[in-house]
Chain A
Amino acid sequence: MPWIVAVSADDIEPEDVIRWDHGGQTYALYRTLDDTYFCTDGLCTHEQVHLADGLLQGHLIECSKHNGRFDIRDGAPKRPPVCEALKTYPVRLAGGQVLIDLPEYPG
């Protein structure tokens, strides 16, 4: 499966999240305080709110609308009202770029 260059590593502040739209889908890209990067689906599984508007604390992303939380490492729901896990995608860094492995990328 192809690795897609998403953004430059510096485009994301430490302990922050940004929105990345690609192929008609929306994703959330995260950078933790120890400069590890993660990628999940961009919309909260509770009510379709962009997670990029939320708050990243450690490995927990909090949705800006209802304060539901997910673990960005595996997408697991960690605080109500979210019950359904978030889809996660493999991420790697190369040449200062953040690459995402999107298995269903149409090419």
Chain B
Amino acid sequence: MIDILAPLKFKPSRNYSLTGPERQRAFDDGLANAEWYQTHVDRKLLKELMKRKDGPALRDTAIWLGLLVLTGMGGIYFWGSWWALPFFVAYGILYGTSSDSRWHESLHGTPFKTDWMNNALYQLSSFMQIWNPVIWRWSHMRHHTDTTIVGRDPEIGTMRPPQMILMALNIIGLTSVPRNLLILIRHALGRFTSDERDFTPKSELSKAAQVARVHIAIHAAVVVSCFYWGTILPAMLIGLPRAYGVWFLLVIGLPQHAGLAEDVLDHRLNSRTILLPLPIRFIYWNMNYHVEHHMFPMVPYHALPRLHEAIKQDCPEAKGLWATWGQLLPVMIRQIRDHKYYIHQELPPGAGAPKLGPRAAH
């Protein structure tokens, strides 16, 4: 009998759990908490690039929130007619896609010099992402310590074989939004998985449960208001944009690590920088400079283009969005059958030798 749900049942080629056998192997092979390759950057220049300012992020956050208000108001005004559609398309991208990069940057504490602004943006954008701000902070710290090290990194987004059907469903958040909500509910009940307990200090779990309860209460209030007013409009403004606006995040964000090497100690080999025009870089807060970000997480988003110029002679040649997907999509399709296949990033002549881990052959 044919199992029609088979494509939805994820069977990873390796054990990506943080508490399974790959974890111990990562330690045994010297891949956990390891020293990573870093391109040399003159200390004076690096200090200049790392310098914190409030100005750029205040300006960009004001524009971002202003656009959210304007497009949201447009959507409300034209609600019930097709004229509302372009407003909600824009609102969805600003909410469901842009909040990811705002979450990410503010987590690192780099966009603003004044730290309470980083923390405020972090709380807001975590809510918009339907992510627990406590758990995701620790998850992302681990992602930076052990980027794409199997058994250690909780944020490997494209485990092999790539789950193409699930990814397609997620274009409108059909999998991620219900999953994120269920995770929040689980956290609100004080339940955490073994993976979450692996990267989150025990002392943080009660905070994670408390914040999950607050987030769930807000989402519940939105649902109640929908029933009260007899319209889905409140949810179109809060919550659902994470679903209908996340598609653009997949387009620009999935290439960060997809199709590249696992178990190497060199961000040039497991991360990808792509070149994007300014409006998209505004939406994504320059996270397209992903090799640069991983190598130097202290550099704020607004200085990443300068960092890119400073180290590009040591990194794989960055491509545009179309060229990146032109290379990536066939590789992901091939990985469905050939789980060990991946893109070997080519380093330019004169670049530092790649730092391959002992399991690079996988």
Contact = CB atoms under 8 A, between A and B. Distances in A.
Interface in A57-102: 57, 62, 64-67, 69, 79-81, 83
Contacts of A54: 298
Interface residues of A, number: 17
A31 to B, nearest CB: 13
Contacts of B52: 55, 57
A61 B52 CA distance: 13
A55 B201 contact: no
B145 A66 contact: yes
A47 B36 CA distance: 13
Given A48-B33, A80-B137, A67 B297 contact: yes
Interface stretch (B108-116, B152-160, B217-225, B249-257): B108-116
B91 interface: no
B296 interface: yes
B108, B145, B203 — which one has the most chain A CB atoms within 10 A of its CB?
B145
Contact of B298 (A16, A67, A79, A83): A67
B297 A81 contact: no
B150 interface: no
A55 B47 contact: yes
Contacts of A69: 109
Interface string B294-309: 0011100000000000
Contact of B141 (A55, A57, A66): A66
A65 B296 CA distance: 8
A47 B52 CA distance: 23
Contact of A55 (B115, B144, B203, B298): B298
Interface in A4-53: 16, 46-48
B298 A81 contact: no
Contacts of A65: 144-145, 297
B208 to A, nearest CB: 12
Contacts of A64: 296-298
Interface in B289-328: 296-298
Nearest to A66: B141
A47 B297 CA distance: 15
Contacts of A79: 109, 115
Nearest to A69: B109
A16, A48, A62, A69 — which one has the most chain B CB atoms within 10 A of its CB?
A62
Nearest to A60: B115
A80 B208 CA distance: 14
Nearest to A18: B43
A2 to B, nearest CB: 30
B138 interface: yes
A83 B141 CA distance: 13
Contacts of A62: 109, 298
Contacts of A55: 47, 50-52, 298
B190 to A, nearest CB: 21
A36 to B, nearest CB: 19
B33 A47 contact: yes
B110 A81 contact: no
Interface in B138-195: 138, 141, 144-145
Interchain residue pairs A-B with the least CB separation, the first 5: A55-B50, A81-B141, A67-B109, A67-B108, A66-B141
Interface of A: 16, 46-48, 54-55, 57, 62, 64-67, 69, 79-81, 83
11 contacts: A47-B145, A48-B33, A54-B298, A55-B50, A57-B52, A64-B296, A64-B298, A65-B144, A67-B108, A67-B298, A81-B137
Given A64-B298, A79-B115, 19 more contacts: A46-B141, A47-B33, A47-B145, A48-B33, A54-B298, A55-B51, A55-B52, A55-B298, A57-B52, A64-B296, A64-B297, A65-B297, A66-B297, A67-B109, A67-B298, A81-B137, A81-B138, A81-B141, A83-B203
